[in-house]
Amino acid sequence: MAVPMKELNSPFPRRPESLPFIDGRLLFNPGSQHSRTIPVGKNFLATWLQSDGHGILTVHHRSEPDRAVWSSYPGRAFVGGAFCKRHVEERCGSFAVHDRPLRIYNHQSVDKILCVEAESDSEEEKDEEGDAEADVNAEVVIGGEGEDPEELIVSSPPPLYKESSHAVSSRRQVSKGRRGGGRRRRQRRAGLESARFDDHPKLLIKGRLLPPTFHWRKEKPREAQSGLEWLSRIQERLDVDPLMAVPAKELVKSGWEKEGIGYSFEMWEMSDHVLSFAASVEDADEDEEEEEGGRGRDWISEDGMMGIDIGGEYSDVIVEGRDVGEKARLGGGGGGEKSSFRPFVGGQKNEKGGRGAEADKASGFGEWLEKWMRGEWGGSDREKQQHAGRKGANRVILTYLSSEEERFFGFGAQFSYVDLKGRRVPILVQEQGIGRGDVPVTWFANANISRGGGDWYTTYAPVPHYVTSDLRSLYLENNEMSTFDLRRPDLVQIQVHCSEMLGRILHGTSPAELIGRYTELNGRIRKLPKWMVRGPIVGIQGGSARVRELWKKFRDLNVPLGGFWIQDWVGQRLTSVDKQLWWNWEVDVDHYPRWEELVDEMRSSGVRVLTYINPFVMEVNEKANYRRSFFTELEQGGYGVKNRLGDPYMIEYRTFSAALVDLTNPAAKTWLKGAIKDMIRTGISGWMADFGENLPYDCILDSGEDPAVMHNQFPELWASLNREVAEEWEAEVRKRRRDFQEGGMEKRAEVAAGADPYLARDSDDEDESRDGKQAQQKKPQPSGRGDAAAASPAGHDAEAGAAAIATGPTENGQQKAVSEISEDAIMPVMEDKNGDESNGQPKGQEEEVQREEEEEDHEEEEEEEEQLVFFMRSGFRKSPKSCTLFSLGDQMVSWQRHDGIKSAVTGMLSSGFSGFAYNHGDVGGCTTIPVVKYRRSEELLLRWIELGAFMTVFRTHEGSVPEENVQIYDNERTLDQFRRFACVFKAWDFYRIQLVKEAAATGLPVIRHPFLHYPKDKRVFSLSYSQFMVGRDMIVAPVLDRGANMASVYLPYQGEPEEWEHVWTRNIYSTPFQSLLQAPTGSWVKVPAPIGEPAVFVRRGTQLAVHFIANLRKHGLLF
């Protein structure tokens, strides 16, 4: 029974309750010191070793027998489970998921190790339906009931054998959970690209998971003792858990096969360098509810919830308002490690004392276990009585080996830290929050919106994937919420909110290779069109007159613009906080009269227009000039996500509520795609597809799927819908182009009359009038104006390339022919003895080939002209497959680490490891809170402009309260800085275009952490927002602190001395030669970095160095 609770916002909300780091013992029959290697596919080998009562499982690739890609910890359980009751708090897209454990299964027995021939999924599903008895003779058993441990010989599996159908049925019994769990598990596996190789062996381990209260032969039966009496009896031997101190010989006699729940652990080869795994535990009863009723933020359980913090960055354990102590035991065989429990104050921490003071500390499992058994944590006594005698789990846990030196990178867009070692990382898509731990703004946000401040781990785009400094990589295929606990120096633990964990382990010899394999499996982002990366995109609001005024100002200054991003095309509404958009997706004709004429006029001048949309719609009864009510259409068509009553689920956002479109509903998708296409018909070239992180846990979806499973997947659905729209539109444009080329004189006459044959617009008079202006865009435009027309021909050597640059005003006053060096200029070209380019063909054939290539290039350029771009802030594992560009979301207009200019750099670097190859942020920041003095200063804007000039996309933002922020157009100094760095951005576009092509082909990000190219230099592991690499040949160290005018830059070292050229002074800095016996170590340099000259280095002697510096000179930026 649930009772309503009056909402009370706290500046210091407690961290979500969660499972602690679960410790358990690995149990098996230690009758022999025998070990055996088992083939897993053609390229992987699994080794089972046992010694002194400890067992360990390791897996390595055949090409590197001395380096494990995965390993369990000796003597420790590597599979565990729990049954938890979930409680969700939600407000404005911020989620707190509380896990209250009612059953724990922390010990693992290894009863059977099987080497089996994998079968197709269809065969397994057929076998799952049967309930035939197992053919035990086909299985290799370690341990067994009734056998004397003194005489038992542990047998090893044969290299390969084929399971009988009866054995398969028995093997799949664990997955079925004996209570219908097989159906749910098959549903989870559906759509996951995890088909096994039919003829390759796989590893299968089966056994039991045992609770902490499991008894052994020399103790009285559990029923004869109370929980506290039982704990007291063994507390002298209690290290982490009673079983950890029991001799293995005694455990063999205990009969554990009758206790706990069943599990299976499988590994199979997906490809030469990819290993799949699945950990399954016995499902709980289907009638056991996991989640409490009602919306999380409005309801609590009748018994209340204890204020105990087990997870997160700080482990402040408080019971009934008192601190339980400064130290607590950590899990582990030695039991001597200690954990400091520090109070949480607004997300801040004591950063004194180096990394040890910064790192998260895992709470002691022994202490937690004692509290759990006393009923002081987790479920109430009544709840535990209700679940007494039941079995099964809805959480699966995987624990494996790490090392104190190993560093972890990735996990999607992480905004506070690049290296996540020592921290607990939850993977849950949600609003990142305002402040994220930076004070005082986080306190203020929490006081106004429940949990509105966020925390260091809250992010729009988390991904269950990492790459480590030891060149190990793993990712999950689960969409359910998961947690990666990296707080132990020697262990990693993954907890997933379901009864089956599916994932893959990647093998590679370099970070780039691992990222390439990951993106090959999950999808790579497509190549950005040149028009998107040629010049800056200016964010502007305020109506047609204001946009035209600013456009003229930039033309007069010869700023090489790429486009305008106009969010408020739908009109603005004034709220109690600030101005917000009308989420009703039609042009506001009063705010933007003659909108299509404005868009066409800009495009014909080489300036693109981008807009804004999201998957919400709101009521527009208060809007005087609306022509179409999208909310009414959603309500009548049943297109929205629904609440328990079947009505549109109204989701709160700041001062208003809106309905979310149900992207699992085919009719709703078609309806929303139509709205986006209507937006494109106005002539725009791109848009921001905002949000995607707000799907409630307690909503009803048209597909019938569990919203807890779909929550993380919702951004992928949103990206997929936008991509479908873009590709359908582009296909129509190509079709019309072909029709035009084949249409003869009649089509040409239509074009001469002013009709655009390439744009699929409506045929009404208004659209025909608009289309007539589009014919101008087919004239070649100077790329200096941001257009994607072909650049002027450039020479193949540095001097010829530099000589190709010419400047001068066009008819409308905008800079002309700032073509710089073509991207082809950085590619080597072979010449024959006469100095002519040659490929060994006769001259006539060569000219024909050249003409064909020119025609193909021209056709490709025309297609790029019409290629659409949309960018998103939310994302999950497969988002790069659909999304065309990513945004970092809404950073504060501040210098702070967790939510400001620094977090923008951190977010780009971390997301690059997980396939987000093009990521960029709002130049100048977004979130503005004048009441606590969070306004954009001039210095902050000038430094952010410098940073933006070295992103993949240079896009500005006025901020959430534009009148409170300094803007790029406010005064002569800001305008000059913007013009200067627009030219800097233009000066390296040839290199940027090559990196964009490389990203689409390999998955490597444009903005890179130095670890990608210098994995042997351990000093780069600790680098965070202070510097980054652009491709392989550029290092940028932006100034991110107020008042700073010097920059310290680390020049990494991989094995050979390198020379780096400081762009502004032309000084050369070298990394010293080192002996092969030395660990590779780079060098620190300190350079001046006044405003206007951020620290930028290029690798000496590269094409980038020659052309970039030549282009800067042509712009008058270098002398």
pLDDT one-digit tens code per residue, 1071-1108? 876 655 567 788 999 999 999 999 999 999 999 999 99
Q: Lowest mean pLDDT: which of 39-43, 116-120, 785-789, 1008-1012?
A: 785-789
DSSP annotation string for 101-169: EEEEE-EEE--EEEEEE---HHHHHHHHT--PPP-GGGS-BSS-TT--TTT-------S-BPPPHHHHH
The residues, ordered by sequence, that sit 6+ positions from 677 with a Cβ below 8 Å of its Cβ are: 725, 728, 729
pLDDT tens per residue across span 896-921: 999 999 999 999 999 999 999 999 99
| Segments in 913-988 forming alpha helices (H) | 938-948, 972-987
Which of 143-147, 782-786, 1066-1070 is predicted most confidently?
1066-1070
- The answer on pLDDT for 300 being more than 70 is no
Q: Are 587 and 682 in contact (CB under 8 A)?
A: yes
- The answer on pLDDT for 858 being more than 90 is no
> Across all residues in the chain, what is the average pLDDT?
77
Ranges for all domains in the chain classified under CATH 2.60.40.1760 = 25-116+392-518
- The answer on pLDDT for 121 being more than 60 is no
Q: Are 768 and 755 in contact (CB under 8 A)?
A: yes
pLDDT tens per residue across span 14-33: 888 888 999 998 888 765 44
Alpha carbon distance 583, 620 (integer Å): 8
Query: What is the pLDDT at residue 851?
Result: 74
Q: Lowest mean pLDDT: which of 228-237, 602-611, 903-912?
A: 228-237
Nearest CA-CA partner of 722 in 615, 571, 629, 873: 615
Burial of 898 per CB tally in 10 Å (0-12, 13-18, 19+) = buried
Q: Are 262 and 155 in contact (CB under 8 A)?
A: no
pLDDT tens per residue across span 520-533: 999 999 999 999 99
Higher pLDDT, 172 or 739: 739
Tally of residues, the chain: 1119
Nearest CA-CA partner of 104 in 427, 396, 364: 396
Quick check: helix, strand or coil at residue 221?
coil
Q: Is 45 left (phi over 0), alpha (psi -120 to 50) or beta?
A: beta
How much of the chain is helix, strand and coil, in % rounded to 5? Answer: 30, 25, 50
| DSSP type of residue 76 | B
Neighbouring CB atoms inside 10 A of 663's CB total 26
pLDDT-above-70 percentage for the chain = 68
Nearest CA-CA partner of 1038 in 943, 1117, 968: 943
Query: What is the pLDDT at residue 992?
Result: 98
- The answer on pLDDT for 64 being more than 70 is yes
For the chain, the first-to-last Cα distance in angstroms comes to: 76
Give just the sign of the alpha carbon dihedral 874, 878, 879, 880: positive
| DSSP type of residue 449 | S
Give just the sign of the alpha carbon dihedral 58, 59, 65, 68: negative
Higher pLDDT, 238 or 455: 455
- The answer on pLDDT for 504 being more than 80 is yes
Q: Are strands 869-872 and 885-887 parallel, antiparallel or unpaired?
A: parallel
Q: What kind of fold does domain 1034-1115 have according to CATH?
A: Immunoglobulin-like (2.60.40)
pTM for the full predicted model: 0.81
Query: What is the pLDDT at residue 846?
Result: 75
Question: What phi and psi, each to the nearest 5 degrees, are found at residue 1032?
Answer: -100, -20
Question: What phi and psi, each to the nearest 5 degrees, are found at residue 86?
Answer: -95, 140
Helix pair 989-1002, 511-522: axis angle to 10 deg: 70
Nearest CA-CA partner of 545 in 494, 590, 579, 479: 590
Does the domain made of 25-116+392-518 have the CATH classification 1.10.3720.10?
A: no
Cis peptide before 440 (omega within 30 of 0): yes
